[in-house]
Structure 1
Amino acid sequence: MESLQLWKNLGEKVAWVKQAYDLMSEEERYDAFYKTLEFGTAGMRGLLGIGPNRMNVYTVAKANVGFGQYLVETFKGEVETLKVAIAYDNRHQSREFAQVSARILSTYGIESYVFEKPRPTPELSFAVRELGCVGGIVVTASHNPKEYNGYKVYDETGCQLVDQKIARVIECVNAVGDETKVDLEHYDDSLVHGLDEAFDVQYLDKIKSIALRNETVKDLKVVFSSQHGTSYPLVPDILKELGYDVVVVEEQKQYDPDFTNTKSPNPEDKRSYELPLEYARKVDADLVLVCDPDADRMGICVKHNGTYEYLTGNQGGAVLQEYIYSTHRDLNTMPANPVMFNTVVTSDLGEKIAKSYDVSVEKTLTGFKYIGEKIEHHNTVKDKTFVFGYEESYGYLLADFVRDKDALQACVMVVESANYYHNQGMTLVDVLESLYETHGAYADNQIALTLSGAEGLSRISRLLDYFRTSDIKEIDGIEIVKVDDFLDGSMPEFPQSNVIKYHLENGSWIAIRPSGTEPKCKFYYCASGATLKDAQEMFERLSNAMQQHIDLVA
């Protein structure tokens, strides 16, 4: 591998590179050097370490060379001063990567506005728009384990770069060639500016503006955890300002790159709720909210009939929609031509709820950038009004001053809705059950196979090839009535993507896609039934049958 020798040469000049190389096993060396990090659905993300397949100052610098060239090429002559906003989370080297990004951009005459402390990804999206920037950068690995970091780029609307834009960035990055030759020593610090805590006020004022009702009785008790990430202190501060009783999980509020006091920083993982639930039981809380480290995802636990029940991302999206749409109806505030956006792997329940309130629905591929793109399109042509957007992976957006999923917005609206129903003698679980009675029950689940390294990547490819080429007619005796293949050009309304979706005769569906940010192959199930028990039994049937197919692919 040519890249291996280039990094060995670098190690002769940079001591920490040589030290890191000497500590690596042969297997680690192969994985670090056999390929370069690629942009996926949410940018570049990978393990920290040396080599072209790792997150380090050299690969980050190379990415910024490409992004800087793209920005100059795209906006030179159209915008007098090119500006970029940069945020970062609590992870190892996040601040360093943010500083490297700003310095590389300065060599292209681009001014950077860098947050002085870790801040939420959605606040970065807001900053791009508020400061009139031509782009944005967030250094984060979102909910990945502590060994990871990442780099996401945003356009002038505050939306992550969509396919046609990121393709040009990738061309520019690839043209750089050897990342070890990027000059890290010469830059113009006069073009790098700080964003202090005063900027938070502008963002939080916008968050407060999304409130729909101002109930006088606010006796709901909330336990909140930031999972050592960027949502603290912003979320508890704004909830307390709005009059809610909030108990913060003290052990998890510090910015900690090792996530010392949580078993997982991912709200999709029930282990992330263990300590917050201990708090909830002690204080008899009605609601538990957990954000991921960069505060774009949010998970919910609800006290219902004396026990705490988790809501999935699909279920959270369902109850939020019911509250938002019913409130607009009651207050006569529904905007003209309302539209909701979700993805091709999001539960059918949300679509049914939206349509019952005459809210139109548009679906996108996985990746909130596609939802942001649709918001911008409809705002430009002025034909539809955005009222809600969400993904099954715990990402929600309620107001479009941000163009990415926003856990702060979600926390405010979940607490408002839970408080409203609490005053009616209901929990969010009661609301969900009433939705099942009205629209039918769904068991929506995702099963992810973690397949790391070069061999894992190869097996993921073989799995997708198997499901794409095998003539599968049924799943556990239930006929497949339609197959959506988003890669072969048969779905022209979507960008081509490595996704397969089976529609079954009983209204259930199964989707398969490789993760764009983790070494995983994901299997999504939307199992329908007359009752929740029926739907859950259907999920078990479908997942067991799919596992038999998976086992055939070595």
Structure 2
Amino acid sequence: MMTDIKTGCSYRDNLIAEWFRMDRNENSRAELKALLEQKKYDEVSNLLGKRLAFGTAGLRGRMGTGTAQLNDLVIIQTAQGFLKYLIKTNGTLLKNVGLVIGYDGRHNSKRWAELTATIFISAGYPVLLFEDMVPTPFVPFTVMQFGCVSGVMVTASHNPKEDNGYKVYGPNGAQINTPVDEDIQNSILENLEPLESSWNTGILADNPLRKNPSCEIIYRYLNYIDQAILPESKELNKKVNMLFTYTALHGVGYKYVQQVCDKINARIFAVPEQRDPHPDFPTVKFPNPEEGKSCLELSMKYADANDSKLIMATDPDADRFAMAEKLTDGWKIYTGNQLGAMFAWWMLHSFRQSKSTVPINKVYMIYSTVSSMICKSMAKVEGFNTIDVLTGYKWLANKAYDLEKKGNKVILCFEEAIGYMCSTEVLDKDGVSACAQMCSCASYIYNQSKTMNKLLDEIFDKYGLHITNNSYYVCKDAEVIKKIFERIRNIRGPNTYPQSILNGKYKIKNVRDVTTGFDDNQPDKKAILPVSPSAEMITFYFENGLVCTLRTSGTEPKIKYYTEICASPDNKDKEAVNSTLQEMSKAICEEMLEPSKNNIIHQSDIKK
């Protein structure tokens, strides 16, 4: 997200002068000088005339010169504003406990973590700064374990190598939400002038206000995993002795996944070329396990050589989890929704095996509204509760926190973008703990001479087929995206939505638009989910049971679509259900998004 600054030739000159006055990083200064020498004035205006805005995901964007990108100066301005916000809103806790800062293996991540620590320590506030790269979930875990005022993780998760980010957690250990992000953004804009002390990272050496939580947090995290995996599961892991092929995709996951697997008696083989952190991700085009085979080719090679039937992957900051399985007809890469079904089954099984005294009517699973409704179908049979929330763990984790404060137990949160939270000990998606849970689930299933794919079939046999088709189009022009959604909302005139697709073959029963707050599922036609005017999101409910959501990404230039058919347990005709899904998905995209007219590119064409 960008905030606009008034520009023009004289304004641009002033902005250039201001940048050179404030910025001390020779690389970003040289980059701007080169653009000026090449007379790329429009590019300079864009880089200095807009500002990367602080949102509910913090900051995320391309690294480079100017206020529209991430660099030392923008990080300093952000940290200064964030410090002032915390002093104003929670100064006592900040003074007594401080905040935790972690970072991944990307370019500049450590540098920006240290700049942030410098700003807080220079002002006299304690900081828990990890001495080495850590998975993103370790930061919210530390916030909760030590009662910190906040947490900062410098990461861009699975974004391309050119990007980085700055993610912020609240005192409850969950990602911040609105209106906190707006308040922080305003504080940043009020504290843009970099202090002399903000550049002095030398202050960190042997400073009593700087603490390293690494050893204690790793100890506590492993203890949490030890408690989360049932003793009988750890014994079964040892007995079955499966070999799991694991890839960290050049991220930070290996060191910690290995320790966790050792703790629960699970055996992994790490893909050598992708085991250690590398900021350029040299063996993959996109360091995102959601991309599927292109990310897992090396894993498949080693798994075949080692007769390993299961591949597990975490993304570069180890908060997402992916899995593939070797079947008789080759490798199957599971979707986020399919994995969600498996996690839901396993976490319910584990909950019951734990002999918990919490009654089933106080147990919850939470899923994002664009994810599979398999949890809801399971709940109807098993008696637990489900809630769907807006996309993103800021919604999932905060809802879990609120439910547990009221005496409930949340055993799973999941979103289709391969994000799983298997315990409220970490209020964020966590690929490391997901590895531990899925290893244990796999041992249980393989001990019965079954596959994970067979487990999935059994889940759908009992609760009904849930077949999804999710993908995206890339569109780098915000105005085009705006026009696409304006057309959908005014298809036959002002405030009229599509009523059907394929010339009336499939009729739309209801529409929910959380951008505008419209929902004709409700008696007053007002959406129950929080309204978010800054992001596009419309859901269509068809008469035949298909649900489709069209939305923009909060971190990437994409229009995403999510379609799912939930069949009754009596309907076993998978081919017919899938055929209907594919036909409708194609028609929805062609008729509503009009890709050829709007020059937007489908994911499948990008790979080609």
TM range (shorter): over 0.9
d(CA) in 1 for partners of 2:28, 2:258 = 41
Which one of the candidate residues 366, 378, 383 is aligned to 2:391? 366
Q: Which residue of 1 aligns with 2:32?
A: 21
Deviation at 1:517, TM superposition (A): 1.1
Q: Which residue of 1 aligns with 2:521?
A: none
SS of the residue 1:39 aligns to: coil
Post-superposition CA distance 1:85-135 (Å, at most 9, x none): 000111000001101111122344322111111100101111111122100
1:535-550 superposed matches below 5 A: 535-548=577-590, 549-550=592-593
d(CA) in 1 for partners of 2:311, 2:28 = 43
Structure 1 stretch 54-63 or stretch 531-540: which is displaced more?
531-540
d(CA) in 2 for partners of 1:462, 1:59 = 31
- The answer to whether the Cα contact below 8 Å between 1:40 and 1:517 also exists between their aligned partners in 2 is no
Is 1:99 aligned to 2:108, yes or no? no
Which one of the candidate residues 188, 206, 210 is aligned to 2:224? 206
Which one of the candidate residues 273, 280, 294 is aligned to 2:296? 273
SS of the residue 1:426 aligns to: coil
SS of the residue 2:548 aligns to: strand
Deviation at 1:370, TM superposition (A): 1.1
Which one of the candidate residues 457, 469, 475 is aligned to 1:433? 457
TM-score (norm 1): 0.93
Structure 1 stretch 323-332 or stretch 36-45: which is displaced more?
323-332
Deviation at 1:19, TM superposition (A): 1.5
SS of the residue 1:163 aligns to: coil
1:338-377 superposed matches below 5 A: 338-377=363-402
Q: What do you get for the CA RMSD once the two structures are aligned?
A: 2.2
Q: Which residue of 2 aligns with 1:160?
A: 175
Post-superposition CA distance 1:12-50 (Å, at most 9, x none): 774433311244473643543342112345221000001
Q: Which residue of 2 aligns with 1:421?
A: 445
Which one of the candidate residues 507, 511, 523 is aligned to 1:483? 511
Structure 1 segments unaligned to the other structure (5+ residues): none
Amino acid at match of 1:103: T
Is 1:243 aligned to 2:290, yes or no? no
Change (3 A) 1:432 1:377: same
Q: Whose Rg is larger? A: 2
Identity of aligned residues (%): 28
d(CA) in 2 for partners of 1:314, 1:526 = 10
Which one of the candidate residues 6, 11, 15 is aligned to 1:6? 15
d(CA) in 2 for partners of 1:154, 1:415 = 29
Q: Which residue of 1 aligns with 2:339?
A: 316
Q: Which residue of 1 aligns with 2:434?
A: 410
Change (3 A) 1:468 1:214: same
Post-superposition CA distance 1:402-447 (Å, at most 9, x none): 1100111111011100110000111111111122222222332322
Using CA pairs under 8 Å that are at least 6 residues apart, name the structure with larger relative contact order, 1 or 2: 1
Q: Which residue of 1 aligns with 2:253?
A: 231
Amino acid at match of 2:478: L
SS of the residue 2:190 aligns to: helix
Is 1:398 aligned to 2:422, yes or no? yes
Amino acid at match of 1:248: A
Q: Which residue of 1 aligns with 2:559?
A: 521
- The answer to whether the Cα contact below 8 Å between 1:466 and 1:553 also exists between their aligned partners in 2 is no
Q: Which residue of 2 aligns with 1:137?
A: 152
Amino acid at match of 2:227: S
Q: Which residue of 2 aligns with 1:387?
A: 411
Is 1:51 aligned to 2:72, yes or no? no
Q: Which residue of 1 aligns with 2:575?
A: 533
Post-superposition CA distance 1:384-411 (Å, at most 9, x none): 2111111110010111111100111111
Post-superposition CA distance 1:127-156 (Å, at most 9, x none): 111122100000000000101000011111
1:71-86 superposed matches below 5 A: 71-77=86-92, 81-86=96-101
SS of the residue 2:185 aligns to: helix
Deviation at 1:308, TM superposition (A): 1.6
Deviation at 1:259, TM superposition (A): 0.4
d(CA) in 2 for partners of 1:52, 1:3 = 13
Structure 1 stretch 257-266 or stretch 289-298: which is displaced more?
257-266
1:437-448 superposed matches below 5 A: 437-448=461-472
Is 1:495 aligned to 2:540, yes or no? no
Amino acid at match of 2:371: T
Deviation at 1:198, TM superposition (A): 4.9
TM-score (norm 2): 0.85
Amino acid at match of 1:10: W
d(CA) in 2 for partners of 1:179, 1:426 = 62
Q: Which residue of 2 aligns with 1:128?
A: 143
- The answer to whether the Cα contact below 8 Å between 1:223 and 1:279 also exists between their aligned partners in 2 is yes
- The answer to whether the Cα contact below 8 Å between 1:464 and 1:512 also exists between their aligned partners in 2 is no
d(CA) in 1 for partners of 2:297, 2:46 = 34
SS of the residue 1:339 aligns to: strand
Q: Which residue of 2 aligns with 1:185?
A: 199
Structure 1 stretch 64-73 or stretch 166-175: which is displaced more?
166-175
- The answer to whether the Cα contact below 8 Å between 1:52 and 1:179 also exists between their aligned partners in 2 is no
Paired residues in the alignment total 549
d(CA) in 1 for partners of 2:285, 2:372 = 28
d(CA) in 1 for partners of 2:581, 2:220 = 45
